[in-house]
Structure 1
């Protein structure tokens, strides 16, 4: 069922503490940790504690939690001191966009120039 933890989901396992992660911040609704394959000097993933396959389904079902993900992403950028120079928040949706874990998540990237378009 949507929103419920999924036994085969990598990010659900990280939230549950089954798989270790370098935790950056936790809130009641979100969990943030460092990406194991960083694409920038600062690369943190912010995920909702509830399971939805992508950002669109999360926003449709739980708009307050989707807003929490964005708020936490901005707070992490400030805490990591990349907010003055600039940072990027990316939601990949679908395999064609590079999504490999089908649990909604935001990539927060910063610490270097981020060219546009990214890919």
Structure 2
């Protein structure tokens, strides 16, 4: 299920993005529709469609997303105040781009639960 997405085009520099971090495996850029004073997306350069597609062979790429989040939080001086990282999965989880990505939000106090109008699901 690895189709080209807008993130692939950003990785390939086919469309612009406000890139704030890049290494061999990871790219981070500011979200174009920020939900907090600071809102970035941290993505693996290798396309993985959803959390359901993470395997033991590619799980190090997901771990690196969190390493990058911690590095950015320290560099941007909000590590001590705190921040939120979120990864959505599939339609009901709020995923709109099918290339896994970590949302990193900071710059304000985050409430919990994040959504007040959620419907309870019986498990």
Superposed pair shares fold, TM > 0.5: yes
TM-score (structure 2 length as normaliser)? 0.87
| Higher relative helix content | 1
Matching of residues 13-52 of structure 1 within 5 Å: 13-52=9-48
* Mapped pair 1:71 → 2:67: yes
Tell whether the 8 Å contact from 1:59 to 1:66 is kept in structure 2 after alignment.
no
CA contact (8 A) 1:34 1:43 kept: yes
Alignment correspondent of 1:57: 53
User: Is the contact made by 1:53 and 1:104 (CA closer than 8 Å) also made in structure 2?
Assistant: yes
The reply on whether 1:98 has 2:58 as its aligned counterpart is no
Determine which of 80, 85, 88 is the counterpart of 1:84: 80
What is the root-mean-square deviation of aligned Cα atoms in Å? 1.4
For the 8 Å contact 1:58–1:104, the answer to whether it is kept is no
Secondary structure of residue in 1 paired with 2:54 = helix
Count, aligned residues: 115
TM-score (norm 1): 0.90
What are structure 1's unaligned runs of at least 5 residues? none
* Larger CA Rg, structure 1 vs 2: 2
Q: Report SS of the residue matched to 2:42.
A: strand
Question: Which aligned runs of 4 or more in structure 1 are off by greater than 6 angstroms?
Answer: none
- Distance in 1 (CA, whole Å) between partners of 2:54 and 2:27 is 15
The Cα offsets for residues 58-99 of structure 1, whole Å up to 9 and x where unpaired, read as: 354401111111100111111121111110010011111211
Distance 1:59-1:43 versus aligned 2 partners, 3 A rule: farther
